[in-house]
Amino acid sequence: MSKGWLSTRQAAKRLGVSEASVRRWSDRGLLPVQRVGKRLERRFKPEHVERFAAPARPGPPVASDPTRVTLGGQAVEPGTHLATLYDSDAAR
């Protein structure tokens, strides 16, 4: 099975990141992984690694509104998924 598949170390090298990052992304389901052998070692398809490394396509432009925040290219309304912090009670 190792032929054509990448180890965690090889995937990390191709992505220019640590092995821990590759493991974390695969655990979160962001990077497809196949577990093999008695030790359930991770193996990655080269095309999945290349696709993961490709820059994401930009989303639609968001209006310039100081009350809007974007996370990962998605607009998020304050108070829905974010905590609003203030310097003082007067700022609220």
pLDDT in tens, 14-70: 999 999 999 999 999 999 999 999 999 999 999 999 999 887 666 666 556 666 677
Is the Cβ–Cβ distance between 3 and 43 less than 8 Å? Answer: no
Nearest CA among 17, 44, 13 for reference residue 31: 44
Predicted model pTM: 0.57
Q: Is the pLDDT of residue 3 over 80?
A: no
Distance spanning both ends of the chain, measured CA to CA:
59
Q: Which residue has the higher pLDDT, 79 or 37?
A: 37
Q: Is the pLDDT of residue 76 over 90?
A: no
Q: Which residue has the higher pLDDT, 87 or 41?
A: 41
